[in-house]
Chains A and B, each alone.
Chain A
Amino acid sequence: MFEARLGQATILKKILDAIKDLLNEGTFDCSDSGIQLQAMDNSHVSLVSLTLRSDGFDKFRCDRNLSMGMNLGSMAKILKCANNEDNVTMKAQDNADTVTIMFESANQEKVSDYEMKLMNLDQEHLGIPETDYSCVVRMPAMEFARICRDLAQFSESVVICCTKEGVKFSASGDVGTANIKLAQTGSVDKEEEAVIIDMQEPVTLTFACRYLNAFTKATPLSTQVQLSMCADVPLVVEYAIKDLGHIRYYLAPKIEDNET
């Protein structure tokens, strides 16, 4: 028996919104520690890793480890039926082929439940090694989203250059060249507006704008985003989900094409 209850459906809505553009389907691996989802996008360029800790749920029960393959588009549709303030409960029997998603209004007067068919997804799970990243940038999630959106107008690729002075996002294309430099903030009143750079050595990496923009769908989940970079290693874009877990996106860098 699996049952997980969240106080606010809006969080789950945001989570689904954050991943459904990249992933059509995904397997939620439920265990007593929480819910995890790991999946590559269709083109196998990026990887999404979602972790929702069991202690972040209002109620969490997982008698046996359970993998629930779901069509994320369908799940997002169901979640749209919920009001933001509704309680949401996910339930599934052991070895069940359906999951029940139940929404309860705050005053308990309205209860709606939706049953969704589960899928048997044969997805590869990748082992993500512990990596010491050369540069870790923490910056406002909104700012990152804005930068990605703006630079996407110039090029398909964004060059992220991180030095001790700051982090520079560049894109150049037919239109012209765009450079956005963010310096490390000295002192800020609001923590969420801070740009903090933890740099071991300077890094310059190129990434596809398209994926970065897809990652920024998670912006509503967190005020801050963390970019972890290291040469020849995928970029990690991490959005913390307050008191619940995190969503991490891994994006393979664009590498030099030796063939041309």
Chain B
Amino acid sequence: MSLQQALDDCLIDFDRRVLVTDLLEKYKLTYKEAHETLEAHIKEQERANTNKFEKRFLVHGMKANGDGELYTIVQGEDKLKEWLDKLQNSQSQLYSVEIAGGSKTAAPIFKPMQHVEVKLAKLEQRAGAATKPVANGVDHKPLNGNAVTTKPAGVKVEPTKATGSKLEPTNSTSSKVESTTSTEEQKKSSPTEQKGGKGKAAVAATKKGSINSFFSAAPAGKAQPPKETKPAAASKAASGSMENFLKKQPTSSESKKSPTESVKKELTAAANTSVQLFDDVESEASSDEEEKLDKLRRKVVGSGDESDDGGTKPTTSKRRRISDSEDEEQPQKKSTETQSKQQQQEEEKEAMDVDAAATNETFLDDDGFVITVRPKKQTQAAAAATKKKTSPTAAASSAPTTKKKSPPAAATKAGKLAKETPKTKQSNISSFFTKK
């Protein structure tokens, strides 16, 4: 659609400020064409409807006191004349049009053109200009006299920094002078800014990624040996449930804060996660509500043997580990507590399914832990249960290897630290002393 057509069809809303740059951009016109069409339309409108249009002009010139160039936008032709008189080598172009007094929301005062597409007929390209300078994804066209690259600068005086050399081509054909310097300036400034930003990012990226760029990710087979050096990694290899348990352990302190939430999650979660729930619920001071939730959870879990067994024993092992990391006075108390709690849980279990309990075998193992064996579930979960039973007991045993002790100890210490650090705050010295 041409500009003329758009004007005829009243598609351009002059209630808002219409920028010539927008028109140039939208209708891919030269300034001259756009200007003439627009002027013609305005005159016609003014004649027909007695509408007054308010024009703004972009003025460019050299300051009288030789302070450099000046770009400004002035309102109305009177002011334009004033400015043209004020400035040396002054030029002006129509910048925006709107209905006088009828303007709604003003369009942005300064809106430079985003895209410039100019085909220059009969223009020989210089050898050096064969490669277009591209900055920021925008092609920088060589500036020529008849190039329509209207990118008006800011409203206020800005381009004192603008280089005069860039203006030279514009002087060649004064009728089509555009505010090319501002374009240049913009092109210069914004890319540098962005380059700066990009540069920083690039530097950061190179700094961070430099070593990674040289080394590829190690294959899985080779990645294992270094893991073995870490005690935590060794325990990871032990069993999946153990791994989960260790992973979740540091967060247990957090989950303690919102036990109900975790319980809800647990209810929806798979059986293996019930281990956490069990810890959380157990670690809380046992209230009726929690007991109910515990029972509910057991129901949901269904057979529960695998998970419960798995649940209780990691719990004890965890407690054991925590207690190991505590002061020497603590562990005995805690171990007795865990045992008593475990017994309570076992009793609960028995109460829950009395029939099954009749066939259960409960005994104390060598380490002093209560073990309940249910022959009913042996068919399905025999292998898994034995695994789970053996591994937690091994983990929980008083003589366990230092490997297994150390990671949880570290975890608990880290937990302690996490607890300690937010708990303390620096007090003010003046609160301790009175003012004289």
Picked from A45, A127, A174, A233, the residue with its CB within 8 Å of the CB of B428 is A45
Contacts of A233 in B (CB 8 A): 432
Contact B424 A157 (CB under 8 A): yes
Contact A256 B433 (CB under 8 A): no
The minimal Cβ–Cβ distance linking B46 to chain A, given in whole angstroms, is 69
Picked from A46, A124, A172, A251, the residue with its CB within 8 Å of the CB of B413 is A172
Given contacts A172-B413, A172-B416, A172-B417, contact A129 B433 (CB under 8 A): yes
Given contacts A126-B435, A126-B436, A173-B417, contact A253 B427 (CB under 8 A): yes
Given contacts A127-B436, A257-B422, A257-B423, contact A46 B417 (CB under 8 A): no
Query: What number of A residues sit within 8 Å (CB to CB) of B?
Result: 30
Query: What number of B residues sit within 8 Å (CB to CB) of A?
Result: 20
Given contacts A172-B413, A173-B417, A177-B413, contact A127 B435 (CB under 8 A): yes
- Residues 403-431 of B, flagged 1 when their CB comes within 8 A of A and 0 if not, give 00000000001001100111111111111
Contacts of A253 in B (CB 8 A): 427
Which partner residue on chain B sits nearest A232 by CB separation?
B432
Contacts of A155 in B (CB 8 A): 417
Contact A126 B430 (CB under 8 A): yes
Contact A47 B424 (CB under 8 A): no
Contact A126 B434 (CB under 8 A): yes
Which partner residue on chain B sits nearest A171 by CB separation?
B417
Given contacts A157-B424, A177-B413, contact A125 B429 (CB under 8 A): no
The minimal Cβ–Cβ distance linking A218 to chain B, given in whole angstroms, is 17
Best-surrounded residue of A173, A233, A257 (most CB of chain B within 10 A):
A257
CA distance A47 to B430 in the complex (A): 9
Contact B428 A44 (CB under 8 A): yes
Q: For the complex, is A250 an interface residue (Cβ under 8 Å from B)?
A: yes
Which partner residue on chain A sits nearest B435 by CB separation?
A124
Contact B416 A252 (CB under 8 A): no
The minimal Cβ–Cβ distance linking A145 to chain B, given in whole angstroms, is 21
Contact A257 B425 (CB under 8 A): yes
Q: For the complex, is A188 an interface residue (Cβ under 8 Å from B)?
A: no
The minimal Cβ–Cβ distance linking A2 to chain B, given in whole angstroms, is 22
Contact A124 B430 (CB under 8 A): yes
CA distance A127 to B434 in the complex (A): 5
Picked from B416, B429, B434, the residue with its CB within 8 Å of the CB of A46 is B429
CA distance A255 to B425 in the complex (A): 5
Q: For the complex, is A107 an interface residue (Cβ under 8 Å from B)?
A: no
Q: For the complex, is A31 an interface residue (Cβ under 8 Å from B)?
A: no
Contact A254 B425 (CB under 8 A): yes
Q: For the complex, is A84 an interface residue (Cβ under 8 Å from B)?
A: no
Contact A40 B425 (CB under 8 A): no
Contacts of B433 in A (CB 8 A): 47, 126-129, 250
Contact A44 B423 (CB under 8 A): no
Contact B416 A208 (CB under 8 A): no
Contact A255 B424 (CB under 8 A): yes
Picked from B413, B420, B421, B429, the residue with its CB within 8 Å of the CB of A44 is B429
Q: List B residues at the A interface (Cβ < 8 Å).
A: 413, 416-417, 420-436
16 A–B pairs (Cβ distance < 8 Å), ordered by A: A40-B430, A44-B429, A126-B430, A126-B433, A126-B435, A155-B417, A157-B421, A174-B417, A208-B426, A252-B429, A252-B431, A254-B426, A255-B424, A255-B425, A255-B427, A257-B424
Sample of 8 further A-B pairs with CB below 8 A, known A45-B428, A172-B417, A254-B425: A46-B429, A127-B436, A128-B433, A129-B433, A129-B434, A155-B417, A172-B416, A251-B429
